[in-house]
């Protein structure tokens, strides 16, 4: 009897803390899509900006099931990080309160300022061309933008036999 009680309590002691504390992760890309299903071909329910905190509720393939505010959905695992990312000096992320310490830390990385300094010393590099290219090829929601392209080519969610769902 004693042994059984002991085993039960040990099991509870092991599992309850993990269950009670949903792991918090942060968005480490400029923006991530909160998806209806665990595939990037799925429809987005919302867009979460850089540094948004989410509660990780589960895992499916390369995606986490997360809760962000009141909404639940899937986010690519590689778009999240355990440690809250530094405040971005290039204007990425939500407009939340940012301490002066955080701003100070953010200015100490390889960032826009360092690029600007490097650019001054290397005027022959094709930054202007890159800026044009980056602007012309930016695609905030490729799932939606290229849906007709995938359909016409039997790709992604439209491939015969199902494929990646």
* C-beta of residue 40 within 8 angstroms of C-beta of residue 143: yes
Within 6-35, the residues that bind other proteins by CB under 8 A are 6, 9-10, 13-14, 16-17, 28-33
Burial of residue 81, with CB atoms counted within 10 A of its CB: 0-12 exposed, 13-18 middle, 19 or more buried: middle
CB of 42 to other proteins, least distance (A): 10
Site string for other proteins, 118-147 (x = CB under 8 A): x--x--xxxx-xx-xxx-xxxxx-xx-xx-
Q: How many residues line the site for other proteins (CB under 8 A)?
A: 74
- Structure token pair of residue 88: 């971005």
Within 54-73, the residues that bind other proteins by CB under 8 A are 62
Task: Give the separation between CA 122 and CA 126, rounded to whole angstroms.
Answer: 9
Within 144-163, the residues that bind other proteins by CB under 8 A are 145-146, 149-150, 152-156, 158-161, 163
CB of 136 to other proteins, least distance (A): 6
Within 81-120, the residues that bind other proteins by CB under 8 A are 81, 85-86, 88, 90, 92, 101, 104-105, 107-115, 117-118
CB atoms within 10 A of CB 91: 9
Residue among 25 and 33 whose Cβ is closer to other proteins: 33
φ/ψ of residue 112, rounded to 5: -55, -40
Q: Tell me, what DSSP letter sits at residue 9?
A: H
In sequence order, the β-bridge partners of residue 44 are: 35
């Amino acid at each position: 009897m004693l042994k059984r009680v002991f085993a039960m309590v040990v099991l509870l002691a092991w599992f309850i803390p993990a269950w009670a504390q949903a792991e918090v992760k942060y968005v480490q890309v400029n923006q991530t899509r909160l998806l209806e299903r665990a595939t990037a071909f799925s429809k987005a329910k919302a867009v979460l900006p850089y540094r948004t905190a989410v509660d990780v509720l589960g895992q499916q393939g390369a995606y986490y099931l997360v809760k962000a505010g009141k909404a639940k959905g899937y986010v690519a695992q590689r778009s999240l990080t355990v440690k809250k990312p530094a405040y971005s000096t290039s204007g990425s992320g939500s407009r939340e309160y940012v301490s002066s310490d955080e701003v100070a830390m953010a200015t100490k990385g390889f960032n826009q300022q360092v690029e600007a300094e490097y650019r001054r010393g290397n005027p022959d590099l094709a930054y202007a061309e890159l800026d044009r290219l980056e602007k012309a090829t930016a695609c905030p929601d490729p799932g939606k933008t290229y849906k007709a392209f995938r359909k016409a080519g039997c790709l992604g969610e439209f491939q015969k036999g199902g494929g990646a769902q």
